[in-house]
Amino acid sequence: MFDFLVIGGGIAGVSAAARLSELGRVHLVEAEDNLAYHASGRSAAMYEENYGAPAVCALNKASRHHHETAYGGVLSPRGILLLANPGQEDSFADDISTFGMTEITPSEARGMVPILQEGITRAGFHGAAQDLDTDKLVQGFLSDLKKQGGTVQTRAQVRAIDRIKTGWRVTAGGQDICAHTVVNAAGAWADQIAKMAGIPPIGLTPLRRSVARIAAPGGHNVAPWPMMFGPGEAWYAKPDAGALIVSPANETPSAPMDAWAEEMELAEGLALYQDYVTEPVTKPISSWAGLRTFAPDRNLVLGPASQDPSFIWCAGQGGYGFQTAPAASQLVADLIAGRPSDIDTQSRAALHPARFA
């Protein structure tokens, strides 16, 4: 009998398991061969504290100290550059305000990224956005979990969940695992896990995002370039290990699955990016897709289910999983332990599953 059984080995599950290991015996199960296989293994890996709804931003800001100090720090300089072509001024104005950017001249933007088109009309820059070392963060939380005696089981797909007098019995990996409390951190599959447990689903929607990796344009050293995106987050491009990753930033509804990139989505993203740069787009080196799973209001879902307080939601991370993980996992642990939280009351209410009851 474990105190906590965490279902899901992405950043949500691993961080929650690490926090809860300070409160009792924790066992984590993951259906795949490795942790952080699905959305957590396919992240754009950025920390931008102004990205998301107000409650998400509260988690972002509360996570900064952990990101800067834990595991030797997981952040490094990057910055984001907003670019507008003729006719995109209104959307540009919205974005520059949302992200707290400083408007710069197109010439200054070309000083950062020399391949930008002369036709770009406006540009904004935010230097506080940073790269986030996703693997280092996952491994750090995993180390914390194991130091507290927590255990991890991969290749353990959940087949059944039953309520028992002492808590829950979960059939996974060919065996029955019992725990007082179940933590649902199953990402795109979180609603399915809830149904197995007899808990009403939230209405989570997995949204596919396709990404292409292309060679460094014109042989340039892209390492110092900022992340670039178009107004309304219509596309983005980001340096990645000497190459460039480009995405249409699409949100295509999908069933929970091991997602793959769609050719038309990739073509759309590359065409949008091409409108801003002088160097011709080359054939992708590789491509992939991930599922970003959102609740109907696009806030995370963190805390006990109204129907049963021993069933804990840790889901709906959407595109904010890594940057919110330290504060989101701490909030889950604080709610379970009945402790005060650093997250303000309004944000806690906006994140709590009771909002869907």
Structural domains in the chain, sorted by start: 2-67+133-203+296-356 (3.50.50.60), 80-126+205-294 (3.30.9.10)
pLDDT less than 70: residues of the chain: none
Q: What are phi and psi of 95, to 5 degrees?
A: -70, -40
Decide: helix, strand or coil at residue 8: coil
At residue 136, the pLDDT reads: 98
Joined together, the tokens standing for residue 91 give 């959307």
At residue 70, the pLDDT reads: 98
At residue 173, the pLDDT reads: 95
| CA 11/CA 183 separation, integer angstroms | 13
Do residues 131 and 5 lie in contact, with contact meaning Cβ atoms separated by under 8 Å?
Answer: no
| CA 7/CA 197 separation, integer angstroms | 12
At residue 357, the pLDDT reads: 84
At residue 346, the pLDDT reads: 98
Decide: helix, strand or coil at residue 82: strand
Whole-model pTM over 0.85: yes
